[in-house]
Homo-oligomer: A and B are copies of this chain.
Amino acid sequence: MNKRKKATIHDIASKLGITASTVSRALNNHPRISDATKKLVTKAAKDINYQPNNIAAALRNGKSRLIGIIVPTVNRNFFSSVVRGIEEIANQLNYKVIISQSYENFEQEVQIVDTLLSARVDGIIMSISKNTENFEHLDRVKEKNIPLVLFDRITDSVEVNQVVIDDYMGAYKTVEHLIANGYKRIAHFTNPRKINIYSERMRGYIDALKAHGMEYDQNLVIESNMQLEDGQQCVKTMLDQGLEFDAIFSSSDYAAMGALQALKERGIAIPAQVGLAGFGNEPFTSFTTPSLTSVDQVSIPMGNVAAELFFELLKADPKKYVPQKTVLKPDLIIRESSTRTPSKPNSTPNSK
């Protein structure tokens, strides 16, 4: 299998009849090496297609100038925007970024952590999979003193730098907005997994209801995987079961979109009969009819902060460093799907 063998400094050395150490110093522009030798070495390196080996350099000094990012999927505006925010900072510092996807699969997440470590990234910035409940792979990263930063989907089981938005406040403000628009039976779409983002949004939902003297009815909390089809199905089930509701606050824009489609299909007017709000501010939320109220997760700033925490950690002494948690304020983006005159009496779909 010689055909893919890489040229080394030894090849240059034997070609020129000098030592490998002289070649190395020539390539690194060492002052003790003559310009004539440097020229010879540079030419020989080019002739045999020698590639200065950054990885070998990384093995020596622990710096590959490469950050590994792990996200559940890049096919969500939120995650790809956080990556962009990370790259904005990384590129200024001449760092490059490589991305891997866990596809919400725990095994895959563990494997790509190992892949990135083997690729000698200088550190990892990641958002954990919905299904991750065991965090030994993160402990391994920490034990090796490899900088690790978590964003959005975090865990308190590992002491590391974390960046989140205030999911509780995002949910609270959304529900408060729905109440101000006269909605009285507000359903909540959530995910049964025990990860921070969904439990915090649920907490915000419940507290906002209570703060406004409204009953918290567990029947109005609908669990699903919150994809588009789940949103459609949840609405159909709610309608078919005769559940009384006049608004939906969905922890996912995709499920909110599915709800919008199913409600329109049944001839239910949005926002007149049912108000609707999502979470994530995916670009399509401004394209729908009616446009969809949603919570913006300030993804670019989140990426910026994650990168800044990463570089802070990179230059710190890991033994003395105290991990930080940064909490960013989300923005409620009010659009047509939840805006109506609250004084106007409206009938809920199942109350005749």
Give the interface of A toward B (CB within 8 A): 1, 3-6, 49, 51, 53-56, 59, 61-62, 64, 66, 68, 73-75, 77, 80-81, 83-84, 87, 91, 96-101, 103, 108, 111-112, 115-120, 143-146, 257, 261, 283-284, 287-289, 317-319
Contact = CB atoms under 8 A, between A and B. Distances in A.
A197 B213 CA distance: 58
Nearest to A283: B284
Contacts of A98: 68, 98-100, 115-116, 119
Contacts of A73: 80
Nearest to A292: B287
Contact of A119 (B55, B59, B75, B257): B55
Given A74-B99, A99-B101, 11 more contacts: A3-B318, A3-B319, A4-B62, A49-B143, A54-B115, A54-B118, A55-B59, A75-B77, A80-B80, A87-B103, A288-B288
Nearest to A84: B75
Contact of A112 (B96, B317, B319): B96
Nearest to A56: B59
Contacts of A62: 1, 4-6
Nearest to A120: B55
A-B pairs, top 9 by smallest CB distance, nearest first, are A289-B289, A54-B118, A74-B74, A75-B80, A284-B284, A98-B98, A4-B62, A99-B99, A96-B115
